[in-house]
Amino acid sequence: MSYIDGFVIAVPTANKQKFIDHAKQGDSVFIDLGATRVVECWGDEVNDGEITDFRKSVKAKEDETVVFSWVEWPNKKTRDAAMQTMTDWMEHPERADPRMDPEKNPMPFDGKRLIYGGFAPIVEVGDKA
């Protein structure tokens, strides 16, 4: 069964193209490590909630846009192997894929406010196009 990594990020709206460029370069690493699909979604209708919402979850400022992203893996085993590879790169940066080098591909957002997690699908409806 597939496995999903999900992300919510606050990106300065002025950095939209920088984010797209960063994502294209970094997301290709996920594909090379076995992901079947990566989707990056720029906030379009992200409403304020009464108690909580996407904007509050990442402490988005007025000049920031919320990005919702996910990485689809064929299974958790493939995802865990990819994450282990990336962990190894952090411990041994000389072996790291240059696309993941923060000097060459800096994050155009505050990574400390990124929310992420791994999810096991329990219901799927519709075509997986």
The Cα–Cα gap between 6 and 44 comes to 18
Write down the pTM of the prediction. Answer: 0.88
Whole-number mean pLDDT of the chain?
Answer: 92
pLDDT of residue 80: 97
pLDDT of residue 128: 67
pLDDT beyond 90 at 62 = yes
Q: Residue range 94-115: average pLDDT?
A: 84
Residue 71 CB neighbours (<10 A)? 23
pLDDT beyond 90 at 79 = yes
Residue 80 CB neighbours (<10 A)? 13
CB-based contact 97:30 (threshold 8 Å): no
Among the CATH numbers 3.40.50.1010, 3.30.70.141, 3.30.70.100, 2.60.40.1480, which is that of 3-119?
3.30.70.100
Task: Give the start-to-end residue ranges of the domains of the chain.
Answer: 3-119
- Amino acid making up residue 106: P
Q: Residue range 77-98: average pLDDT?
A: 87
Average the pLDDT over each of 9-23, 47-61, 85-99 and give the range with the smallest value: 85-99
3-class DSSP state of 75: coil
